[in-house]
């Protein structure tokens, strides 16, 4: 069983995830001079055993500040319900309706 221990220096105390980010960058051979496509390909190679779907890499790529716009497909999310507040003729607030509102 592996046990990892991370600690942060005072220079990086503003980012609690700095040790994890730097470990992923070192393990993947990701350099600052690499293009976003190169960085994403290296990240994909690093995590190939963990996931096959490039969409699953998007949150980790975001954590590493790697743009995924040109390198991975986007997942289509269902539309979120729009919120409408309705009032009675006297002006009192009657509540909130959470339902799709036709455009």
- Residues 2-23 pLDDT 10s: 777 777 778 877 778 888 889 8
Q: Which H or E element spans position 19?
A: helix 18-28
Characterize the bridge pairing of strands 93-98 and 83-87.
Answer: antiparallel
- Rounded CA-CA distance 13/26 in Å is 20
Predicted structure pTM score = 0.60
* DSSP-derived 3-state class of residue 94: strand
- Rounded CA-CA distance 48/86 in Å is 51
- Residues in Cβ contact with 21 at an 8 Å cutoff, skipping those fewer than 6 apart: 15, 63, 64
Beta bridge partners of 85: 96
- Residues 37-86 pLDDT 10s: 999 999 999 998 888 787 888 889 998 989 887 554 555 555 555 554 44
Residue 34's pLDDT band, with cuts at 50, 70 and 90, is very high
The ranges assigned to domains in the chain are 10-63
pLDDT at 88 over 80: no
- Rounded CA-CA distance 47/60 in Å is 10
């Amino acid at each position: 069983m592996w046990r990892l221990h991370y600690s942060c220096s005072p220079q990086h105390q503003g980012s609690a995830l700095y040790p994890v980010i730097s470990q992923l960058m070192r393990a993947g051979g990701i350099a600052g001079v690499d293009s976003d496509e190169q960085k994403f390909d290296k990240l994909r190679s690093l995590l190939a055993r963990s996931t096959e779907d490039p969409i699953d890499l998007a949150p980790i790529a975001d954590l590493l500040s790697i743009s995924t716009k040109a390198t991975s497909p986007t997942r289509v999310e269902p539309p979120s319900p729009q919120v409408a507040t309705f009032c009675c003729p006297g002006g009192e607030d009657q509540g909130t309706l959470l339902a799709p509102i036709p455009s």
